[in-house]
A = this chain, B = another copy of it.
């Protein structure tokens, strides 16, 4: 079958208006926002229903044409971008935005893959519930992409990753068959855990078309604190004490080095230094509870104990929603406001929570030895052991020349991560960016199991080829 026959078949399935080939119209689907990955495609196909996805996959399968599923195109590892052969189809889920059901008695909602995260959050709020997944790209990223990548974000400590927030999935397999595992059940031990096999598989084992998601009561009290302290060890001590005193009420525990705050202060609009004087490190702590009363006192006790024991040097509690938003901007805008400082070499890594301070110390020393003047900007989800270990170029360096060091610097940092039994991809996934690294660094038996699973579910290799494996 030649490609024009396929395109005609696809137009029959989804309507001609939803088979896009005009380069101007599909340019946005072929590159990702940072411009790190770009590809070509036969067409961008936009099905409107699971039945259409199934039919599209069947047509592609019989034509032997590979499919790259795409949601909001916000992924950071190139997983959603086609290769440059021009032989692949981009399957955009963005028209599939239906909220199929909100069951507030069972605390679940069943939504289609193309719904944006912020729309899903709003749907939950509409029935006085919380859908707690929250990340910087939430305005654009979609539920399908969140699940395909097992997104993390800033509320994992209390609620878990996208995986833990999902109770059921509907998946189109490589032969077009549809797995109906859209269960709303909290407990279901009827066979292998297919849901979790597809979540996090980056579209390489099947295409998630809908999901049943957990809803939570909206917290009735919330406390947000911005804390200044001397070093990550003190932050770990504070985190241990917070878990002890607040348990699963700790929703957010973000660590930031002073330089990250400085970038936000320097390049951001209407931001001000949050504490009286600067501190080497900061923690953004947020706790939430259903129980009225008790939480404020518990956080105040915690901070008082921490000050008394000199684990921390200063702390401010957000007194208003506006102040809370200001604290959060210091964290949320780091990635963006690092850009005016030039090139940044990134590491999305995790280590066991207890060795985060050792990791930061060792990785900082190694990077500074490798490249004197490099500015280490570690920040992120300390409570999950997940640090975004970004490195900004030395002042005055040439950006392109600096970025040439991406791979050797990655190697240095990842070697330290490996020594500490950590992960070189904590929450962003593998995609194209870390595919070769996965092959080298993964436990070889586990990697072989992955290949066997891929062969079992996508024997012709038509689902997102060249990603992950």
Residues of B within 8 A of A430 (CB): 189-191
Q: Determine the distance from Cα of A381 to Cα of B427 in the docked complex, in whole angstroms.
A: 33
Contact A438 B216 (CB under 8 A): no
Whether A107 touches B243, Cβ cut-off 8 Å, given contacts A179-B449, A426-B187, is yes
Residue of B245, B291, B385, B426 touching A249 (CB-CB under 8 A): B291
Whether A177 touches B445, Cβ cut-off 8 Å, given contacts A189-B149, A424-B190, A457-B452, is yes
Q: Determine the distance from Cα of A297 to Cα of B297 in the docked complex, in whole angstroms.
A: 15
In the assembled complex, A455 has its CB within 8 A of some CB on chain B: yes
Contact A245 B291 (CB under 8 A): yes
Residue with the highest number of chain B CB atoms closer than 10 Å, among A197, A434, A445: A445
Q: Determine the distance from Cα of A234 to Cα of B395 in the docked complex, in whole angstroms.
A: 66
In the assembled complex, A292 has its CB within 8 A of some CB on chain B: yes
Interface string of A6-46 (1 = CB under 8 A from B): 00000000000000000000000000000000000000000
Stretch of A136-144, A308-316, A327-335, A349-357 contacting B (4+ beta carbons < 8 Å)? A349-357
Q: Determine the distance from Cα of A103 to Cα of B183 in the docked complex, in whole angstroms.
A: 35
Stretch of A88-96, A114-122, A156-164, A368-376 contacting B (4+ beta carbons < 8 Å)? A156-164
Contact B289 A247 (CB under 8 A): yes
Whether A249 touches B173, Cβ cut-off 8 Å, given contacts A108-B352, A385-B187, is no
Number of copies: 2
Residue of B149, B185, B196, B426 touching A193 (CB-CB under 8 A): B196
Q: How large is the interface on A (under 10, 10 to 19, 20 to 34, 35 or more residues)?
A: 35 or more
Q: Determine the distance from Cα of A160 to Cα of B164 in the docked complex, in whole angstroms.
A: 10
Q: Determine the distance from Cα of A202 to Cα of B323 in the docked complex, in whole angstroms.
A: 51
Q: List 7 A-B contacts (CB under 8 A).
A: A105-B240, A106-B355, A185-B423, A189-B200, A219-B247, A249-B291, A453-B453
Q: Which of A391-431 contact B (CB under 8 A)?
A: 421-430
In the assembled complex, A244 has its CB within 8 A of some CB on chain B: yes
In the assembled complex, A443 has its CB within 8 A of some CB on chain B: yes
Contact A381 B187 (CB under 8 A): yes
In the assembled complex, A442 has its CB within 8 A of some CB on chain B: yes
Extra A-B contacts (15), CB below 8 Å, given A105-B353, A187-B423, A449-B457: A106-B354, A150-B189, A152-B189, A156-B186, A185-B352, A186-B353, A187-B385, A189-B423, A190-B423, A191-B430, A194-B449, A197-B197, A216-B247, A293-B298, A452-B457
Residues of B within 8 A of A188 (CB): 350, 423, 425-426
In the assembled complex, A259 has its CB within 8 A of some CB on chain B: no
Interface string of A224-247 (1 = CB under 8 A from B): 000000000000100010011111
Whether A217 touches B194, Cβ cut-off 8 Å, given contacts A249-B290, A352-B108, is no
**Whose C-beta in chain B lies nearest to the C-beta of A161?**
B187
In the assembled complex, A184 has its CB within 8 A of some CB on chain B: yes
Contact B244 A354 (CB under 8 A): no
Contact A246 B290 (CB under 8 A): yes
Q: Determine the distance from Cα of A424 to Cα of B188 in the docked complex, in whole angstroms.
A: 8
Point out residues on A near B: beta carbons under 8 Å: 103-108, 149-150, 152, 156, 158, 160-161, 163-164, 173, 177-181, 183-194, 196-197, 199-201, 205, 216-217, 219, 236, 240, 243-249, 289-295, 297-298, 350-355, 381, 384-386, 421-430, 434, 438, 441-443, 445-450, 452-453, 455-457, 468
**Whose C-beta in chain B lies nearest to the C-beta of A103?**
B354
Q: Determine the distance from Cα of A314 to Cα of B150 in the docked complex, in whole angstroms.
A: 45
Whether A293 touches B289, Cβ cut-off 8 Å, given contacts A443-B180, A445-B177, is no
Contact B247 A446 (CB under 8 A): no
Contact B425 A190 (CB under 8 A): yes
Contact B179 A445 (CB under 8 A): yes
Residue of B219, B351, B456 touching A455 (CB-CB under 8 A): B456
Residues of B within 8 A of A216 (CB): 247-248
Residues of B within 8 A of A442 (CB): 190-191
A243 to chain B, nearest CB (A): 5
Whether A290 touches B247, Cβ cut-off 8 Å, given contacts A164-B164, A426-B185, is yes
Q: Determine the distance from Cα of A353 to Cα of B350 in the docked complex, in whole angstroms.
A: 35
Whether A205 touches B192, Cβ cut-off 8 Å, given contacts A352-B185, A443-B180, is yes
Residues of B within 8 A of A434 (CB): 190
Residues of B within 8 A of A187 (CB): 152, 156, 161, 350, 381, 384-386, 423, 426-427
Q: Determine the distance from Cα of A453 to Cα of B179 in the docked complex, in whole angstroms.
A: 14
